[in-house]
Amino acid sequence: MTERVGRRGRKDNQPVTLSLIAEQVGTTAATVSRVLARPEAQAKTALAKRVWVTAKELNYRPNTLAASLRTKRSNVIGVTIPRMRDEVLALMYEGIESVLAESGYQTLAVTTNDDPVQQKEKIELLIRRQVDGLLIGDALVGGAALADVRRSGTPNVLYNRRASGYTSVTCNDYIGGQLAAEHLLGITTGPLAVYAGMDYATNLQDRARGFMERVGVAGRTLSNNSVINGSIYAEAGEEAAARLLLSPPFPEGVFLVNDMAAIGFMGECSRRGFSVGKDIKVVGFNDVSVSGITVPSLTTIRSPMNDIGRLAALTLLNKIAGKRVSSAQLSPSLIVRSSTDSGLGSKAGHK
């Protein structure tokens, strides 16, 4: 029987090992191991480049289980995501994954639907899988699940959420709410209203609180029954509009703490004969991709979603490395479009 010989004289059935790569390159297996453990440095020296080129040509596949047993590290980060269909969370996850990949980590993502039972079960699963760290993005965060994380000693960072005693990376949602208030205060004289979202979501409540406190400082008040809680979907915005537009006095300006709820709100306003941008000024939050192409286009508070994910991942990596870290809040910005300025046209926008 004739044995087939592959590239660089290797027999097809010969396993690709560190020693084989070292033999091809002309170095030691220990050196090859060190080089392959640092993908970010693969082009820094001629030797490192030769090692990586040879490994790729030989189709080298590292034994991650053996490496984990040897180093007591999995090179995997667990990520909890409330909902996969949410563009905001998807952009944050992209930021997380890009930073971790650059540092040689893989992600193991689980969805929790903001359900405390699922949250606890799936965080326990990630801990049992011996992930090197956890990034937790649940709105309903706290209680038993976080207690399990703390007891396990697994390094962790909250993203897009905050909880007392835990490191977090968020948008400065309170300031975002104030930006929305200042904008509406400057272009209205009548009653204002706020759609505050889920009452257990710290980020949404911070937005609503910032808005209401800024309105109060200005000496303006919110009309009766004008602080509404609910989900973050378009249907909830439609329901909020139906409630606020049931009978006068109608609000002249409305801040909704999520873009999708704001888009649903605008649709219901139009169906009831109100002109958004003229009769009612509407402000959302996040600046998701569809916000600029709705008719009218949506004035919103832009959250640096991808940057939140990136900084959360960097913070966790520093924590894993034993460095001191602290919570961070990234700055939002106001994007003015035609839902508060009908003279801009349907797609215009500016800060």
Evaluate whether 157 touches 168 at the Cβ level (below 8 Å).
Answer: yes
What is the Rg, in whole angstroms, of the alpha carbon atoms belonging to the chain?
A: 26
Which two three-digit tokens encode residue 11?
A: 């027999």
Check whether residue 44 and residue 99 sit in a common domain: no
pLDDT for 59: 85
Dist CA 181 CA 83 (whole Å): 29
Is 349 inside a domain boundary? no
Evaluate whether 126 touches 137 at the Cβ level (below 8 Å).
Answer: no
Q: Which of 62, 84, 109 is a domain's end point? A: 62
Q: What is the pTM of this model?
A: 0.80
CB proximity list for 30: less than 8 A, separation 6 or greater: none
Is residue 174 predicted with pLDDT exceeding 70? yes
Check whether residue 215 and residue 234 sit in a common domain: yes
Which two three-digit tokens encode residue 119?
A: 């949250």
Output b/e per residue, 152-163; b: 16+ Cβ within 10 A.
bebbbbbbbbbe
Is 2 inside a domain boundary? no
Check whether residue 338 and residue 326 sit in a common domain: no
Check whether residue 245 and residue 183 sit in a common domain: yes
Check whether residue 164 and residue 179 sit in a common domain: no
Residue type, 183: H
| C-alpha torsion sign, points 210, 213, 216, 221 | positive
pLDDT digits (tens, 9 = 90+) for 138-157: 877 667 788 888 899 999 99
Please count the residues of the chain.
351
pLDDT digits (tens, 9 = 90+) for 225-259: 788 898 889 999 999 999 999 888 899 999 999 99
Higher pLDDT among residues 116 and 92, named by residue: 92
Check whether residue 162 and residue 56 sit in a common domain: no
Across the chain, which distance is largest between two alpha carbons, in Å? 92
Dist CA 244 CA 23 (whole Å): 75
Tally of domains within the chain: 3
The owner of tokens 């959420």 is 161
Is 1 inside a domain boundary? no
pLDDT digits (tens, 9 = 90+) for 13-64: 567 888 888 888 899 988 888 888 776 665 678 888 888 899 888 888 776 5
Domain that holds residue 135: 74-171+306-330
Check whether residue 30 and residue 146 sit in a common domain: no
Check whether residue 100 and residue 216 sit in a common domain: no
Evaluate whether 106 touches 75 at the Cβ level (below 8 Å).
Answer: yes
Check whether residue 257 and residue 145 sit in a common domain: no
Is 14 inside a domain boundary? yes
Q: What is the DSSP letter of 4?
A: P
Check whether residue 187 and residue 166 sit in a common domain: no
- pLDDT band at 6, cuts 50/70/90? very low
Which two three-digit tokens encode residue 122?
A: 């799936």
Strand order in the sheet with 299-302: 222-229, 192-197, 253-256, 281-286, 299-302, 333-335
Is 351 inside a domain boundary? no
Check whether residue 255 and residue 339 sit in a common domain: yes
| CATH number of the structural domain spanning residue 25 | 1.10.260
Strand order in the sheet with 328-330: 106-111, 76-81, 133-136, 156-159, 168-171, 328-330
Percent of the chain with pLDDT over 90: 59
Dist CA 164 CA 151 (whole Å): 16
Check whether residue 57 and residue 196 sit in a common domain: no
Q: How far is CA 36 from CA 53, 96, 103, 298, in A?
A: 11, 22, 12, 48
| CATH number of the structural domain spanning residue 280 | 3.40.50.2300
What average pLDDT does the chain have? 88
Residue type, 290: V
Evaluate whether 50 touches 22 at the Cβ level (below 8 Å).
Answer: no
